[in-house]
Amino acid sequence: MALRVHNTMTKKKEKLVPLQEGKIGMYACGVTVYDLCHIGHARSVVVFDVIYRYLLYKGYEVTYVRNFTDVDDKIIKRAQEEGVSTEEIAARYIEEFNTDMGALGLMEPTVEPKATEHITDMIALVQRLIEKGHAYEVEGDVYYAVESFPEYGKLSKRSLDEMQAGARVEVDEKKRNPLDFALWKATKPGEPSWESPWGEGRPGWHIECSAMSQKYLGDTLDIHGGGKDLIFPHHENEIAQAEGATERPFVRYWLHNGFVNIDKEKMSKSLGNFLTMKEILKEHHPEVVRLFLLSRHYRSPIDFSSQGMEEARGNLERFYQTLAGIDEVIAQDKTHEPVPEGLSPEEMAVYRQAEEFTDKFAEAMDDDFNTAVAIAALFELSHDLNRLLQKPSSHAPQVLHKGREAFAVVGEVLGIFQDDPRAFLEAERVRRTEALTLSEKEIEGLITERNEARKTKAWARADEIRDHLASQGIVLEDTSKGTTWRVQ
């Protein structure tokens, strides 16, 4: 099956056909570095990290560019509030991004440009737009004339009349049209500035991404992405700038991830439900965050809640438990037989399921990177592998080797299962134990008492102990090797 992606421009799924066979140029809008990153930022960077990983897995040579916006109104405002330079604010929050987002196991982009390193490229692009009649200068400010670009609004599917009717723009008598947007802003006291043909000033936000993306990927990009909130005006304006200057198509495929809500409400500082990644990572393992974010299709909204995160934690732990069981059996395997000889019908069925998993995984990912379906397929395989782990035969390692390969593929593409299974499970056990009201010694004592009650057929007391532990969040599992416990 060919890889198909949902193109925001056409609102259809289309076969991905790159400009150059075997090569893909992809640009994803990065963060404006004036504050700590939040869960919404995390969704976007994780989504495009997985897309990058999958394209590499498919064998493409990928040039992935993700920028830092390090000159912007919000950065200037924060610097003025704190009485420090914009450079200090930008450097601080780039470091915070690398710490918090780095914990999520992101692959490094091919290029990670900063806006301030490409001012010359932006000035050159603005000059071209003026020369082509798409921009005009007024008292040191340069504006893009939206009426000069007949296709303005084609990404967001809005006409100029509709935009003007619903516009919330500041009255600026310098503009020929209220919807015209700034390409270059004349310098103001206390703001960073650079020399330009129009005097001292700084770039507008939109021109930054057009200049940086085309600097590294050429006039036409294969993929450009970001959150849905960027469709208008940011990406709409990028199209007008890039195509106005080059008269060539700017992007072949536009990809946009959905919003993150907090307990079914839009995340907002004013609502007091604004969650930074630093706060979230204090409570949750980074792979729990990744699995949670990937448990829904990237274009769909996702609701961040304690219940959702706890569900993701439990799912990840179950996967790691399966991996730990597989590794234990494989470690004891002395045959290392590569072919499935002597398997029972049940074992053969699971072997075939594991063998076919990579095709099933690819089928899900080829359908517009549907990680939710891919994870569901892994659950199904994991369930059947666990059945074999309950009573492993001498031939079970042959099946489990193949199952381990399936987990490796998912781990490589989705960026999970990077920890040693035993170490992960032990760390989770310690974390949960620290939150218990009962000590481990008390739990073990109650389990011993329950086992004695069962031996003497004092079933009422045995059930009473089990119910008491359950009320404390302790789940007992009776196995052939004895009774084990875990925190619910």
Question: For 215-274, what is each residue's pLDDT tens digit?
Answer: 999 999 999 999 999 999 999 999 999 999 999 999 999 999 999 998 878 776 667 677
> Where residue 331 falls among pLDDT bands split at 50, 70, 90?
confident
User: Does the structural domain 303-427 have CATH classification 1.20.120.640?
Assistant: yes
Mean pLDDT of the chain: 92
Mean pLDDT for 100-122 is 97
| DSSP 3-state of 70 | coil
d(CA 129, CA 125): 6
Q: What is the Cα–Cα distance from 20 to 14, expressed in whole angstroms? A: 17
**Cα–Cα distance for residue pair 273/304, rounded to 1 Å:** 10
Q: How many CB atoms lie within 10 A of CB 367?
A: 17
Give the pLDDT mean for 185-206: 96
CA 343 to chain centre: 40
Per-residue tokens: 441: 């010694």
Question: 115-127 burial, b if ≥16 CB within 10 A, otherwise e?
Answer: bbebbebbbebbb
DSSP state letters, 187-236: --TTS--B--TTSSEEE-HHHHHHHHHHHHH-SSEEEEEEEGGGIIIIIH
Distance CA 74, CA 275 (A): 19
pTM of the model: 0.89
Q: What is the predicted pLDDT for the residue at 105? A: 97
The pLDDT score that the predictor gives to residue 412 is 98
Q: Give the number of C-alpha atoms closer than 13 A to the C-alpha of residue 280, restricted to the C-beta side.
A: 32
pLDDT at residue 169 greater than cutoff 60 = no
Q: What is the mean pLDDT of residues 272-301?
A: 94
- Sorting pLDDT into bands at 50, 70 and 90, what band is 166? low
What Rg do the C-alpha atoms of the chain give, in angstroms?
28
Burial 37-74 (b: 16+ CB within 10 A, else e): bbbbbbbbbbbbbbbbbbbbebebebbbbbbbbbbbee
For the chain, what are the domain ranges? 16-283, 303-427, 436-487
| For range 59-69, the mean pLDDT | 98
The CATH superfamily of 16-283 is: HUPs (3.40.50.620)
Q: Which long-range contacts (CB under 8 A, 24 or more apart) does 151-155 make?
A: 151/239, 151/240, 151/243, 152/236, 152/240, 153/236, 154/9, 154/236, 154/239, 155/8, 155/9, 155/231, 155/232, 155/235, 155/236, 155/239, 155/254
Q: Residue range 281-288: average pLDDT?
A: 95
Question: Alpha carbon of 112 to those of 94, 265, 322, 425, 460: distances in Å?
Answer: 11, 33, 37, 35, 64
> How many percent of the chain have pLDDT more than 90?
74
Percent of the chain with pLDDT over 70: 96
The confidence score (pLDDT) of residue 463 equals 86
Q: Predicted confidence band at 403 (pLDDT cuts at 50, 70, 90)?
A: very high
Written as one string, the DSSP assignment of 392-451 is --TTHHHHHHHHHHHHHHHHHHH----S-HHHHHHHHHHHHHHT-SS-HHHHHHHHHHHH
What is the per-residue pLDDT for 461? 86
pLDDT confidence of residue 170: 58
Structure tokens at 179: 């919807």
Do the Cβ atoms of 282 and 276 come closer than 8 Å? no
Q: How far apart are CA 91 and CA 97, in angstroms?
A: 10
Predicted local distance difference test score (pLDDT) of residue 436: 72
Give the pLDDT of residue 292.
98
Q: Which helix (H) or strand (E) holds 487?
A: strand 482-487
CB neighbours of 384 closer than 8 A, spacing ≥ 6? 349, 350, 353
Is 60 exceeded by the pLDDT of residue 384? yes
For 153, counting Cβ atoms within 10 Å of its Cβ (0-12 exposed, 13-18 middle, 19+ buried), the class is buried
pLDDT of residue 227: 96
2-16, 399-413, 438-452: least confidently modelled range:
438-452
Residue 165: predicted pLDDT:
63
- Residue 475's pLDDT is 84
Greatest C-alpha distance within the chain = 94
The pLDDT of residue 265 is: 82
Provide mean pLDDT across the span 345-349.
89
233 cis-preceded (ω within 30 degrees of 0) = yes
What is the average per-residue pLDDT within 397-416? 95
How does strand 61-66 pair with strand 23-28? parallel
479 pLDDT higher than 90: no
Which residues lie closer than 8 Å to 90 by C-beta, 6 or more apart? 33, 34, 68, 70, 71, 75, 114, 116
**pLDDT the model gives residue 421:** 97
Query: How high is the pLDDT of residue 47?
Result: 98
pLDDT (tens digit per residue) in 291-323: 999 999 999 999 999 899 999 999 999 999 999
SS3 content of the chain, % helix, strand, coil (to 5): 50, 15, 30
Q: What is the band of 73 on the pLDDT scale with cuts at 50, 70, 90?
A: very high
Average pLDDT estimate for 132-136: 98
Distance CA 76, CA 89 (A): 9
